[in-house]
Structure 1
Amino acid sequence: MDLQHLFSTLADVPWLLTTLDLVGVFFFAVSGALLAARKDFDLVGSMALALFAGLGGGFTRDIVLDRGLPASLENPIYLAPPVLVSLLVYVGAIRPNRLNLTITLFDAAGLALFTVSGVMIAHAMGVHPVSVVVVATVAALGGGVLRDIVANEVPSIFDPRGVYVMPTVMGAAAAELAAQRDALNAYTGTLIALLIFTVRMLAYRYQWRLPGAHVRQDKDRVDRLRRLVQQAQATAARRAARTRERAVWPASGPGGVDAAHGPAEDYEDQVRVEDYDPDTQSITVVDEATRQSVRYHPETGVMDVTDMLTGRTRSYDDPDDDWVVDDGDAPAHP
């Protein structure tokens, strides 16, 4: 199917490719801005992460296909979704309580749309079918990978909790097969995008893993860390309240608590409080036994666990939303 034939097939929907791209940019930008909010980035940092997430995949696709100036630079309207999303998150218009789940929802939606638009563009340029699947996959994954790397998160493609890459590859292959049969249009493209989104969310919900990916989360370890950090946070909050009542709160360090007077102590001889912010009541503790640093945000219930040896961070929502499994068969929270 040549370029002219493809565009004649899509003549009734000339807005399709641009619409898919813009909506995909919007969804990826939301995931980036929400991650920036969880990381306590300022407005500039939020816009930067939203831009990386929203435009990274399109940049990669256009450069690989040698399309000249990337579409997001040729048409300034591509910059609008990331900027708008960052402002909405900054002013609190987008303020979900279940951050991890919401980020995953928007990420999966962007993944689905960029996969379909990547296939349409690569196929129209006469790329080999196998290469079409590769280009579409790279385009769909590029923004999310760039977002996670910049935010010092483990990229989702390496996270064993839930299948991430395979829905993209399968969807790209299905879209290319449809294009080979002149059947890739607005309707089939939407259907394939919904399939990718559904498979990704089911994989996340039920923690599906590919054969050989035997890594699993130890729920007892996660529960232990949450219990200790919540107890330490409650203690720190009481100390801060008592100090304010006595009006003798000392000059604070970078984290909002002076090391000599704040809650910098071993808690239950298991974790050490490293930082506490009395304004947000967020707290950071270090578990020396496992060499992990835990940042807890009581307002959202999000717990960021960083491996101090590798620097990799994994985040957990409130226990009702964690979706962490006890074993390889059943979810801990149905």
Structure 2
Amino acid sequence: MDLQQLFAELADVPWLLTVLDLVGVFFFAVSGALLAARKDFDLVGSVALALLAGLGGGITRDIVLDRGLPASLQDPIYLAPPVLVSLLVYVKVIHPNRLNLTITLFDAAGLALFTVSGVMIAHAMGVHPVSVVVVATVGALGGGVLRDIVANEVPSIFDPRGVYVMPAVVGAAAAELVAQRGALNAFTGFLIALLVFTVRMLAYRYQWRLPGADVSQDKDRLDRLRRLAEQAQKAAVRRAARARERGPRAAFGPAEEYEGQVRVEDWDPDTQAITVVDEATRQSVRYHPETGIMDVTDLRTGRTRSYDDPDDDWVVDTGSAEGADADRDDAGR
């Protein structure tokens, strides 16, 4: 058997597209369910966000290609991954630790698989090569965009911290070039998906960004916000303990000022999460001590970005002497 015949047999696998779609749905659904956990959604909200993330891209792709009723609505099996994932996250079989990194990993895997499956479907329908790339990219991005919009997050395609769209575009173009030569199959498709996944994660890890993009948060500012939020959270715990000792009249006041730097807006005694406002920079910070997640909202624009614990923030370091000193101080703590 020559190489061309082997490629032809690998391409002629009737369940290949279904498997790619289902695995992609699973990965995207995990990213949706984990985001729902970070947002403290209940089980219904988790299922809804997992469904949007997992099925949104495929439905968008099928509608654009005019394939009739989208595949995910024809076959009930497509509903299984989002529901199963939501239950696994809810009972903490998939544990929501280091959420930003975990969400990005699953999101990148879904992005890669939907890019390849989108090219396979569009190419098989005889779509123009340029349109194949566009359709595959739209299908790969659709679920993540819907997930982020519904969860009131800045969609990843607009976040300059790591390129998001370009890996899908490059992967779709590479897959279409391979398909033009009749060599797009399970093996080559896996290699292209691996390429998309790797580029996306490297871009996220090293904060690659396109020319002209700017990052509104540098490491020094984030270190300052995290330090103030942690201090305010510990002070809130101490004041709550004193309040319990003195009685209900000494309850903690959520609007209390902390060292004249941040104002405490809210504190949850059950989760220990605290929300503080930094008037100097017009930013609101929601800090979750259990996970180390810090959600930073710009009060002027309403945009929210989330950061993991200091070792995994993966944000731009200004390289300043003050930043280096801050890093050494953090290491000492």
TM-score normalised to the size of structure 2?
0.91
* Partner-residue secondary structure (3-state), 2:145: helix
* Partner-residue secondary structure (3-state), 1:234: helix
CA distance in 1, matches of 2:319, 2:66: 43
Pair 1:46–1:232, CA change in 2 (3 A): same
**What one-letter code is carried by the residue in structure 2 that aligns with 1:312?**
R
Partner of 1:232: 232
Partner of 1:253: none
Q: Do the aligned partners of 2:37 and 2:96 also contact (CA within 8 Å) in 1?
A: no
What are the within-5 Å matches in structure 2 for residues 116-155 of structure 1?
A: 116-155=116-155
Partner of 2:310: 319
**What one-letter code is carried by the residue in structure 1 that aligns with 2:273?**
S
**What one-letter code is carried by the residue in structure 1 that aligns with 2:225?**
L
CA distance in 2, matches of 1:117, 1:310: 36
**What one-letter code is carried by the residue in structure 1 that aligns with 2:305?**
R
* Partner-residue secondary structure (3-state), 1:106: helix
CA distance in 1, matches of 2:244, 2:76: 50
**What one-letter code is carried by the residue in structure 2 that aligns with 1:262?**
G
Deviations 1:242-281 (A, max 9, x none): 22344x246xxxxxxx9x7434211111110010010110
CA distance in 2, matches of 1:11, 1:306: 47
* Partner-residue secondary structure (3-state), 1:69: coil
Q: Does 1:292 align with 2:283?
A: yes
CA distance in 2, matches of 1:146, 1:83: 17
CA distance in 2, matches of 1:306, 1:187: 43
CA distance in 2, matches of 1:66, 1:14: 21
* Partner-residue secondary structure (3-state), 2:209: coil
CA distance in 2, matches of 1:238, 1:261: 10
Alpha-carbon deviation of 1:12?
4.5
Please identify, of 308-317 and 19-28, the stretch whose mean Cα deviation from structure 2 is larger: 308-317
Alpha-carbon deviation of 1:241?
1.9
Please identify, of 11-20 and 113-122, the stretch whose mean Cα deviation from structure 2 is larger: 11-20
Q: Do the aligned partners of 1:88 and 1:94 also contact (CA within 8 Å) in 2?
A: yes
* Partner-residue secondary structure (3-state), 2:297: strand
Q: Do the aligned partners of 1:161 and 1:216 also contact (CA within 8 Å) in 2?
A: no
Alpha-carbon deviation of 1:102?
0.4
Alpha-carbon deviation of 1:97?
2.1
Partner of 1:268: 259
TM-score normalised to the size of structure 1?
0.91
Q: Does 1:108 align with 2:142?
A: no
**What one-letter code is carried by the residue in structure 2 that aligns with 1:239?**
R
**What one-letter code is carried by the residue in structure 2 that aligns with 1:286?**
V
Pair 1:249–1:43, CA change in 2 (3 A): farther
Partner of 1:185: 185
CA distance in 2, matches of 1:9, 1:212: 46
CA distance in 2, matches of 1:84, 1:249: 43
Aligned with 2:296 (options 301, 305, 311): 305
May I ask how many residue pairs the two structures share in their alignment? 317
**What one-letter code is carried by the residue in structure 2 that aligns with 1:284?**
T
Instruction: Write 1 or 2 for the structure with the bigger share of helix.
Output: 2
Alpha-carbon deviation of 1:289?
1.6
Q: Does 1:157 align with 2:157?
A: yes
Partner of 2:4: none
Q: Does 1:277 align with 2:273?
A: no
Q: CA RMSD in A?
A: 2.0
Gaps of 5+ in 2: 1-6, 328-333
Pair 1:328–1:236, CA change in 2 (3 A): closer
CA distance in 1, matches of 2:103, 2:252: 37
* Partner-residue secondary structure (3-state), 2:45: helix
CA distance in 1, matches of 2:10, 2:129: 19
